Amino acid sequence: MGGNTLIFENAIDMREQLPDGGALLGIDLGTKTIGLATCDAGWRFATAGKTISRGKFARDRDSLDELIANRNVAGIVIGLPRNMDGSEGPRAQSARAYARNLAEASSLPILLWDERWSTHSAEAAMIGQDMSRAKRAEKIDSHAAAIILQAAIDALAGGSV
């Protein structure tokens, strides 16, 4: 199925396209890396996964396809990096383009989720765990993806926007 008809910005609209249960994949797009997170089939807990080096979309898609197949992913949540005033700049446009490319390559519904403060929250949590600067740099995008995904699954499970 593919196409932009499966890209949503409202959790309630996406919820209608999802089966009851099934893992979801969270994606935090960095300029050089892509942070990944998944949740359980009951949409209770998001867990940070791996971080992959960002390359050509076809290579990124191969990595994502493998994870989608292995985890029986039913939908995807991509962080949408809005500015603090809610406007969208080049990074948000890039995330939208990535979502369109992914929608054309997949039949899974995609939710664009406001990710303001996700990286800051992830870094604060890792500092709280006394994680070294090098380890934080390595894991920041996947932890941000988990924060984005957790917020989205809370909305999906609770029926709110």
The CATH number that applies at residue 113 is 3.30.420.140
Tally the domains of the chain.
1
> Which pLDDT value is given to residue 1?
39
Contacts of 53 (CB under 8 A, 6+ apart): 32, 33, 34
How far apart, in Å, are the Cα atoms of 38 and each of 2, 85, 87, 147, 153? Answer: 22, 29, 28, 11, 10
> Which pLDDT value is given to residue 2?
44
pTM listed for this prediction: 0.85
The parent domain of residue 70 ranges over 4-158
pLDDT class for 3, splitting at 50, 70, 90?
Answer: very low
Q: Which one, of 139, 91, 132, 137, lies nearest residue 114 by Cα?
A: 91
pLDDT tens digits for range 49-66: 999 998 888 888 898 999
